Amino acid sequence: MPGEIAEITQVLREPGLAVTHAKGCDSALWHLIEAARQGDAASFDEIMVRYQRRVLNTAWRMLGNTEDARDAAQDVFLRVFKYLKSYRSAEDFDGWLYRIIVNVCRDIARKRPPAPPASYEAEVQNGELAGIAVAGGAEESAIQSQQRNIIAEALATLSRKEREALVLRDLEGFSTKEVARLLGSSQTTVRSQISSARKKIKLFKDRMMRQRRG
Amino acid sequence: MDCKYITDKVWLYVEGDLQPTKQQMVTRHIASCRQCAGLVDEVIKSQQWLKSREAERFDDAALDSVRSGARQRIAELQGGRFRSLGMFGRLNWKPLIIACPILVLMCCFAAYWILDTRRISSVPRSIARNDGYSQDKHENGAVRPDIGVRGAAKVPVESHHKRRISRRTRPAPPGNSRVQDNLMANDETYQWPPLRIEIQTEDPNVRIIWFASPGDAPVPSGPDKSELEQERLCFQ
């Protein structure tokens, strides 16, 4: 049993499961940034294409609905354009971008009252989210959709800070130290928030599973 | 290490968020405790379930709308707000707006300084009209000295500028001064006219006046009154 646990833990730590974030940025990206700084609209478009999916997903996870996520993504790119001149090459571009995402999501969450999490099926029906094609067919797709709903509802039960910490640590794959830096708080605080959030998620998931079985 | 501690720390243990020493302690404990090992297993599965959730896929239309919206906002930022102002719309107004109050303050100070200088410069002319201590020319063309000696009859300075020339320094009009009349009337005490020396400094507000009153002390003999009178006329 302990050996099995260690094996699972090792699997969780493999880079495939978590997004890896390289320090600094590659030369191609750096050229794009330089060109965008000079006012090249095509280069800035290229940067947007590179990061749009990640920005939109992170914003969706933090805010919980597509409309707000879309607004947040637009605002993020606007700020990137505005402050691109202040970005230094030695800095981690992903970290810099995520700091903007966190700030924008915080601003939007402050301005708007917390909305109930939108149902995944409803958003697919509205055409806001594209349906995910699953190899297993309709049944598998329905199960995944159900899971998505549970997770979205579970995230909605967390406080704003717990949600930010959990999304960045578990879903975006940053280390605790990086999360602390992005959120501007101490590592101890982040650990406490993550621990509490994970506990809440598990309790919510267990309750929902019991309800659906019953 | 008891099981309660493990229950608290297991949420961090599964992702390796504990310090290395604590991580090892928990590992040792779960190796010997089936209950805690079961809990760790459940938490790991919960984490796997959370992470296995595939990233939400936004369709191309949603992504295009994000890009077009961002472009639109950038265009607004780049001068759409001041498009109607033409060339001025492209100016960076922020420093100007910040500098505005400073410029207004500087203008106020400059205006105050100019007005104040004019008011001060008007004072010597009024003095000149009245008492003759100015560099202005006489009617006969002679330049008046800036220094007056020995009690020339003073006409009061009719200046509106009371703040600058105080009542104390203002000389009394001839004939109206009781002190002067008394001195003139009493020959014992008025053997010598009151010595008065005035120096007009460059600053029109400052005039140094020496006024030597005979008082009770014996007065030294001086020049005749006729000589003084001639001298006075000469200065006038």
Is residue B156 within 8 Å of B170, Cβ to Cβ? yes
User: How confident is the model at residue B90, as a pLDDT?
Assistant: 63
Confidence of residue B169 (pLDDT cuts 50, 70, 90): very low
Confidence of residue B183 (pLDDT cuts 50, 70, 90): very low
Kindly report the nearest CA distance between residue A26 and chain B, in angstroms.
23
Cα radius of gyration rounded to whole Å, chain A:
19
User: How confident is the model at residue B85, as a pLDDT?
Assistant: 63
Kindly report the nearest CA distance between residue B20 and chain A, in angstroms.
14
Where b means 16+ CB within 10 Å and e means fewer, B173-207 reads eeeeeeebeebeeeeeebebbeebebebeeebeeb
**Residue A83: inside a domain, yes or no?**
yes
| Domain containing residue A98 | 24-115
Tokens 């060339």, residue located: B87
B76 interface with A at CB cutoff 8 Å:
no
pLDDT top residue among A12 and B224: B224
List the CATH number of the domain containing A209: 1.10.10.10
pLDDT top residue among B49 and B119: B49
CA distances to A70, B191, B216, B228 from B222, rounded to whole Å, are 105, 9, 17, 10
Contact B46 A194 (CB under 8 A): no
List the CATH number of the domain containing A80: 1.10.1740.10
Contact A199 B30 (CB under 8 A): no
What's the rounded Cα separation, in Å, for the pair A96 and B184?
A: 96
pLDDT along chain A (214 residues), means of 10: 45 38 67 88 91 91 88 94 85 90 92 61 51 56 75 87 93 92 93 94 87 75
**Residue A129: inside a domain, yes or no?**
no
CA distances to A8, A153, B27 from A203, rounded to whole Å, are 21, 12, 24
The full DSSP string for chain B is: --HHHHHHHHHHHTTT-S-HHHHHHHHHHHHH-HHHHHHHHHHHHHHHHHHTSPPPPPPHHHHHHHHHHHHHHHHHHTTGGGGGGGGGGGS-HHHHHHHHHHHHHHHHHHHHHHHHHHHHHHHHHHHHHHH--SSSB-TTSPBPPSEEES-PPPPP---S-TTTS-TTTSPPPTTT-HHHHHHHH-TTT-SSPPEEEEEE-SSTT-EEEEEE--TTSPPPP---HHHHHHHHHHH-
Same domain (yes/no): A169, A100: no
Measured in degrees and rounded to the nearest 5, phi and psi for residue A102 equal -60, -45
Confidence of residue B59 (pLDDT cuts 50, 70, 90): confident
Contacts of A61 in chain B (CB under 8 A): 56
**Residue A96: inside a domain, yes or no?**
yes
Question: Structurally, how many domains does chain A consist of?
Answer: 2
Contact A81 B57 (CB under 8 A): no
**Residue A137: inside a domain, yes or no?**
no
Contact A170 B65 (CB under 8 A): no
User: How confident is the model at residue A182, as a pLDDT?
Assistant: 92
CA distances to A149, A172, B113, B134 from A153, rounded to whole Å, are 6, 18, 71, 94
Last residue of a domain, one of A115, A149, A183: A115
**Residue A132: inside a domain, yes or no?**
no
Residues 6+ apart with CB under 8 A from B193: B150, B151, B183, B225, B228
Contacts of B22 in chain A (CB under 8 A): none
Residues 6+ apart with CB under 8 A from B203: none
Lowest mean pLDDT across A7-16, B121-130, B134-143: A7-16
Question: Is the complex ipTM more than 0.85?
Answer: no
**Residue A58: inside a domain, yes or no?**
yes
Lowest mean pLDDT across B123-132, B156-165, B201-210: B156-165
Interface of B with A in 112-141 (CB under 8 A): none
**DSSP secondary structure code for residue A136 in this structure:** T
**Residue A15: inside a domain, yes or no?**
no
Lowest mean pLDDT across A132-141, B13-22, B180-189: B180-189
Measured in degrees and rounded to the nearest 5, phi and psi for residue B196 equal -140, 120
pLDDT top residue among B196 and B190: B196
User: How confident is the model at residue A25, as a pLDDT?
Assistant: 65
Last residue of a domain, one of A46, A80, A115: A115
Q: Which of B16, B49, B54 sits opposite A205 (nearest CB)?
A: B49
The mean pLDDT of B189-196, rounded to a whole number, is: 58
Contact A176 B56 (CB under 8 A): no
User: How confident is the model at residue A126, as a pLDDT?
Assistant: 53
Contacts of B6 in chain A (CB under 8 A): none
Smallest CA–CA distance from A173 into chain B, residue: B51
Smallest CA–CA distance from A168 into chain B, residue: B51
Smallest CA–CA distance from B43 into chain A, residue: A202
CA distances to A108, B73, B98 from A105, rounded to whole Å, are 5, 17, 30
Residues 6+ apart with CB under 8 A from B82: B88, B89, B90
Give which of A191, A192, A209 to mutate to test B binding, by max B Cβ within 10 Å. A191
B19 interface with A at CB cutoff 8 Å:
no
pLDDT top residue among A137 and B145: A137
Is residue A97 within 8 Å of A76, Cβ to Cβ? yes
Q: Which of B17, B44, B50 sits opposite A151 (nearest CB)?
A: B50
pLDDT in tens, A23-35: 556 788 888 888 9
**Residue A39: inside a domain, yes or no?**
yes
Confidence of residue B108 (pLDDT cuts 50, 70, 90): very high
Smallest CA–CA distance from A8 into chain B, residue: B44
Same domain (yes/no): A106, A166: no
Same domain (yes/no): A103, A30: yes
Last residue of a domain, one of A115, A148, A181: A115
What's the rounded Cα separation, in Å, for the pair B220 and B214?
A: 10
Looking at chain B, the whole-number percentage of residues with pLDDT higher than 90 is: 11
pLDDT in tens, A158-175: 999 999 999 999 988 899
Q: Which of B15, B55, B69 sits opposite A57 (nearest CB)?
A: B55
CA distances to A134, A136, A209, B11 from A213, rounded to whole Å, are 23, 22, 6, 26
Residue pairs between chains A and B whose CB atoms are closer than 8 Å = 133
